[in-house]
Amino acid sequence: MYEITLRGPRPGDIGWIIYRHGVIYSEEYGWNEQFEALVAQAAATFLKRNDPTRERAWIADLNGKFAGSVFVVEDHERSNTARLRLLLVEPEARGHGIGRLLVETGIDFAKKAGYDTMVLWTNDVLRAARKLYESLGFVLVEEEPIHWFGPQTIAQTWKKVL
């Protein structure tokens, strides 16, 4: 039996999220420290300017152990748009619906917060995440080849009308 719970971040969780992104993406995709820096910057921005009526982070625990995370932040470049960020599911926690639960929770929050649209940025190599986004109504709107994190990938922007 598996017990999945969602909660807000506690002290140390944000640092753990940065660390696990760095480790997992290096092991699974060969990405370098520039990816970890991007995650750290996104996390630091969330911590510094977080407006809890418009922005949130969730931690998923599986049987009491950290299993994943997701953030919803305001996209300051687009009017009334939420941005889904830092979705992560620990390798040993995959297959339990945690990613879907995290993203659905983020979408529900964005709707209640009054956003009209949600966007996210991902990479083509993240096949499971892209399949999840598509199943939840996100549409691919932009692609661009990048090599910021070591191996070349295709950066993608996805959008969902809420």
Task: Give residue 50's pLDDT.
Answer: 86
Which pLDDT belongs to residue 154?
A: 95
Q: Which residues of the chain have pLDDT under 50?
A: none
Which of 140, 62, 137 lies closest to 107 in space, CA to CA?
Answer: 137
User: Each residue of 84-125: pLDDT tens digit?
Assistant: 999 999 999 999 999 999 999 999 999 999 999 999 999 999
* pLDDT computed for residue 59 by the predictor: 98
Is 129 in contact with 136 (CB distance < 8 Å)? no
Is residue 138 a contact partner of residue 160, using CB atoms and an 8 Å limit?
Answer: yes
Q: Give the global pTM.
A: 0.95
Radius of gyration of the chain (CA): 15
Domains located in the chain, CATH noted: 4-116 (3.40.630.30)
Neighbours of 84 (CB within 10 A): 25
Q: Is 46 helix (H, G, I), strand (E, B) or coil?
A: helix
CA distance 162 to 94: 26
